[in-house]
Amino acid sequence: MNVRRNLLSLAMISLLSVIALASGQGFRLAAAPTNVAVQSPAPAPDFSGVWRHGNLPWFIPPASGPGPVTNLSREKGTGVSDYSSLVGDYKNPILQPWAADVVRRKGELSLAGLVFPNPANTCWPEPVPFLFKHAAMQMLQLPDQIVMLFNENHEVRRVRLNQPHAVEAAPSWHGDAVGHYEGDTLVIDTVGVRTDRPHAMIDLFGTPYTEKLHVSERYRLVDYADAKDAMQRGTKENRRAGGPYNPNYDDKYLQVLFTIEDPGAFTTPWTAVMIYLRDRDEFAEVVCAEGRFGFHNHEGADLPHADKPDF
């Protein structure tokens, strides 16, 4: 009896459906509420364009805590780093003994009047973070990557966005760089910087690194109030190759906070900061012009070369 009743009910429902469709009154699904807010991701900050820092050396030490190797040679009068005499402070406690000895020996060469080779003056690709020696950088923000164009020696750095580090990536000149946005901050993480190369150093003082080098960068647009302390420290420490900061500058500043660690070379992680200003002028290209006999009393500087033409 129950089976018959259920079959009869189903037949009635089907009949009513046919009648309703025939009369143009089809069944309608309940409309989705129109007042539900769809939350879209916050737009990424605009880092695009040309940025210039103008410091030599480029790292600004932190206000406190472990910081980069700085120059023991100072200019008379100004007291800033003497760019013509690069004598790194090999007693900086961040350095392991073997790394301190490397820095000490480089400084002795400089004190003797010898310009020791580095990636920049021999036109070799520059490792991260030596790469930031370049005075100007242009950032291109793409959906899946950040591209950094540096104004000297055609250096190009690519940062993959929202991806993990490659598991078995071969070490490369600039390392494996991945990034993501954290609100108004671009975070870049770099590992796998190549060590089997000439002039494996992270700064102008010859500070060495190993395959364990790990560099973290945090990019953020700030106002003068947030940039001034670092700028003042930088003015006291580094030579302003680009001249004094423009007192009429009224744009945003690009603040880059570095955290650098390498258990093979350093005793502890250390930090540094850089401050960039927007450059609205033409992005001038600087081509590296090496001199093969300009170092160590005219001995070869191990520059890139081919024994026979490859074309």
For the four alpha carbons of 245, 58, 53 and 111, in that order, the dihedral sign comes to positive
Spatial distance between the Cα atoms of 295 and 123, rounded to a whole number of angstroms = 13
pLDDT attached to residue 294: 55
Query: With bands split at pLDDT 50, 70 and 90, how would you rate the model's confidence at 43?
Result: confident
Spatial distance between the Cα atoms of 280 and 63, rounded to a whole number of angstroms = 30
| CA-to-CA dists, residue 174 to 60, 194, 231, 288, 291, angstroms | 21, 7, 27, 18, 24
pLDDT at 5 over 50: no
pLDDT at 101 over 70: yes
Spatial distance between the Cα atoms of 289 and 61, rounded to a whole number of angstroms = 31
Closest CA to 213 of 145, 273, 127: 127
pLDDT attached to residue 311: 66
When mean pLDDT is compared across 38-42, 206-210, 272-276, the lowest value belongs to 38-42
pLDDT attached to residue 30: 43
Higher pLDDT, 286 or 4: 286
> How does strand 270-278 pair with strand 55-56?
unpaired
Q: What is the pLDDT of residues 133-190, one digit of tens each?
A: 999 999 999 999 999 999 988 899 999 999 999 988 899 999 999 999 999 999 999 9
* Cβ-based neighbours of 62, under 8 Å, separated by 6 or more: 271, 272, 273
Average pLDDT of the segment spanning 271-293: 82
Average pLDDT of the segment spanning 57-83: 96
In one-letter notation, the amino acid at residue 37 is A
pLDDT at 236 over 90: yes
User: What pTM was computed for the model?
Assistant: 0.81
pLDDT attached to residue 29: 39
Average pLDDT of the segment spanning 277-291: 80
Average pLDDT of the segment spanning 71-77: 96
For the four alpha carbons of 260, 157, 204 and 62, in that order, the dihedral sign comes to negative
Q: What is the pLDDT of residues 298-307, one digit of tens each?
A: 555 555 667 8
Task: Count how many Cα atoms sit within 13 Å of the Cα of residue 171 in the half-sphere of its side chain.
Answer: 14
Query: With bands split at pLDDT 50, 70 and 90, how would you rate the model's confidence at 32?
Result: very low
In one-letter notation, the amino acid at residue 39 is Q
pLDDT attached to residue 299: 52
Query: With bands split at pLDDT 50, 70 and 90, how would you rate the model's confidence at 40?
Result: low
Percentage with pLDDT > 90 across the chain: 67
pLDDT at 225 over 50: yes
Helices (H) and strands (E) counted in the chain, each on its own, are 3, 11
Residue spans of the domains in the chain: they are 49-278
Closest CA to 295 of 86, 99, 154: 86
